[in-house]
Amino acid sequence: MKITEYRTKKGERRFKAVAYIGTDALTGEQIQSKITGKTKKEVNDKIDVKKAEFKKNGFSVQKKSTVTTFKELCELWYEVQKKGLKTNTQMSFESMLNQHIIPALGKYRVERINSLMIQNAVNSWYEKAQSGKIRKDYKNIYRKVRKIFAYAISLQLIEKNPCENIFLPNLKQEKKKELDYYTKEQLSTFLSYFEEKELDYEDFTFKMIFHLTAYSGMRIGEVLALARNGDVNFFNNTISVTKTTNAKNEVEETPKKKKSNRIVYLDANTMKMLKEYIHYQKLKKLKIGAKQSDFLFTELVTSERIKYSKCFYQSQKIAKIKKLHFIGLHGFRHSYASLMLNAGVPYKEIQEQLGHEDITMTMNTYSHLAKSSRMDSVVILQNYLSE
């Protein structure tokens, strides 16, 4: 490197040099910098500073991330992660970050967080999960933290992931909670609520929603996203499931899983009831001059889609009136699976109707509900052995 002398416009003596700083680790380019100073020593000192800054920045002139705290890192990571996620999944991520991860580690500088701090956070989540204060899958919180630190490594903020070699205590095994569902008799009792009164528009709408959910096995979000035109086929007695609603009551064009896109077969009586409901709905809206909506289940006056929360309240109210235990809205789906099993329908058919990814999921979830079928099997074996 050559340092040369020159004069400014004011005639002052100065020195300059074009110095090689290093090779950029990201681009592979050779980095040079023009340095000036009042003396040769000042030029050399400035070159040393430039090289030190270049090394500190990860041997690159590319702008280094300004992330300081773990909270800032979480926010940066989430901005990348949330792209392409469904609304419900986004809300789940946000809840995990804001309720568990950031409160535990958010205030600390990223490079100062060590394995002991991670272990203490994990122990705290374990204790809360064990006492029922948070969900039992506390290990999922840890897995997210590990991914966030892996992202920090990719940004060259840290060199080693502090989540390595962390001990994850196993929760005490609890009795598996049984699924909430109605038996054949209980479902009949629930739906009889609508047979004992003169139905107005709202009554007829909820009668149809609960009946359709119980007789199809569709998720409530799938039912509330149905369109009158395109989804309902009265010729084949089928419904096409291609959409669902999320926690914000928005329609998402892709259902929960790939297998959720499916054709659901309905009995003739349910389809007849559905046709009568659509005709009734059309006449009611024409009578008051309300807008006709393409969605199947809507409010009478505003034509807005019926909300999940309103269905939840209605089912809770009816269960109380009919002196039944409350099974939630997903319980109608469980009821459908139970009734199908006890009616002798093969698991494969139930899997297709429910939209499960594979038959193992269906069997693992619902096999214990086939109580009467198992009793029939015992009788069949006894009769065979007695011959």
Least-confidence region, from 61-70, 101-110, 113-122, 244-253: 61-70
pLDDT at 228 over 90: no
Is 386 domain-assigned? no
SS3 for 84-115, per residue?
A: CCCHHHHHHHHHHHHHHHHHHHCCCEHHHCCH
86: Cβ contacts below 8 Å, ≥ 6 apart: 246, 252, 254
Over residues 3-23, the pLDDT tens digits come to 999 999 889 999 999 999 998
Distance CA 281, CA 259 (A): 31
Instruction: Select from 154, 173, 196 the last residue of a domain.
Output: 154
| The predicted structure's pLDDT at residue 385 | 47
User: Among 190, 186, 167, 152, which residue's Cα sits nearest to residue 68?
Assistant: 152
Per-residue pLDDT band at 157 (split at 50, 70, 90): confident
My answer on whether 200 and 99 are in the same domain is: no
My answer on whether 128 and 219 are in the same domain is: no
| The predicted structure's pLDDT at residue 26 | 73
What's the whole-number mean pLDDT along residues 225-254? Answer: 87
| The predicted structure's pLDDT at residue 279 | 95
My answer on whether 249 and 340 are in the same domain is: yes
My answer on whether 197 and 326 are in the same domain is: yes
Per-residue pLDDT band at 378 (split at 50, 70, 90): very low
| The predicted structure's pLDDT at residue 383 | 62
Is 164 domain-assigned? no
User: Is residue 350 within 8 Å of 337, Cβ to Cβ?
Assistant: yes
User: What CA dihedral angle connects 377, 379, 385 and 387, to 10 degrees?
Assistant: -130
Distance CA 211, CA 216 (A): 8
My answer on whether 235 and 277 are in the same domain is: yes
My answer on whether 228 and 358 are in the same domain is: yes
My answer on whether 210 and 354 are in the same domain is: yes
pLDDT at 97 over 50: yes
My answer on whether 137 and 248 are in the same domain is: no
My answer on whether 190 and 277 are in the same domain is: yes
My answer on whether 189 and 255 are in the same domain is: yes
Range of the domain at 249: 185-375
Neighbours of 351 (CB within 10 A): 20
| The predicted structure's pLDDT at residue 355 | 83
Over residues 59-94, the pLDDT tens digits come to 777 665 578 899 999 999 998 888 878 888 888 899
My answer on whether 291 and 196 are in the same domain is: yes
Task: Kindly tell me the burial class for residue 197, based on how many C-beta atoms sit within 10 Å of its own C-beta (0-12, 13-18, 19 or more).
Answer: exposed
Is 194 domain-assigned? yes
Q: Quick one: tokens of 37? A: 């100073």
Is 168 domain-assigned? no
Q: Quick one: tokens of 205? A: 């709408």
70: Cβ contacts below 8 Å, ≥ 6 apart: 102, 105, 106, 107, 108, 109, 110, 113, 148
Is 26 domain-assigned? yes
| The predicted structure's pLDDT at residue 381 | 45
Q: How many domains does the chain have?
A: 3
My answer on whether 18 and 88 are in the same domain is: no
pLDDT at 321 over 70: yes
The torsion angles phi and psi of 146, rounded to 5 degrees, stand at -60, -40
Is 179 domain-assigned? no
Helix (H, G, I), strand (E, B) or coil at 235: coil
Identify the helix (H) or strand (E) that includes residue 179.
none
| The predicted structure's pLDDT at residue 194 | 95
| The predicted structure's pLDDT at residue 377 | 47
pLDDT at 312 over 80: yes
Q: 62 or 56: whose pLDDT is higher?
A: 56
Identify the helix (H) or strand (E) that includes residue 19.
strand 13-23
Neighbours of 343 (CB within 10 A): 11
Which whole-number Å values give the CA distances from 253 to 67, 90, 244, 246, 357, in the listed order?
A: 36, 16, 7, 11, 18
Mean residue pLDDT of the chain comes to 86
Please report, for the domain that includes residue 86, its CATH number.
1.10.150
Q: Which residues pair with 69 in a beta bridge?
A: 109
Per-residue pLDDT band at 129 (split at 50, 70, 90): confident
| The predicted structure's pLDDT at residue 1 | 80
pLDDT at 239 over 50: yes
What's the whole-number mean pLDDT along residues 222-229? Answer: 92
What's the whole-number mean pLDDT along residues 170-188? Answer: 79
Q: 218 or 176: whose pLDDT is higher?
A: 218
pLDDT at 283 over 90: yes
Least-confidence region, from 218-222, 257-261, 279-283, 369-373: 369-373
Q: Tell whether pTM > 0.85.
A: no
Helix (H, G, I), strand (E, B) or coil at 147: helix
| The predicted structure's pLDDT at residue 221 | 92
Is 160 domain-assigned? no
Is 270 domain-assigned? yes
Per-residue pLDDT band at 309 (split at 50, 70, 90): very high
Residue for token pair 């946000």: 94
Distance CA 244, CA 258 (A): 12
Distance CA 189, CA 31 (A): 79
Distance CA 326, CA 316 (A): 6
Q: 327 or 177: whose pLDDT is higher?
A: 327
141: Cβ contacts below 8 Å, ≥ 6 apart: 96, 100, 101, 125
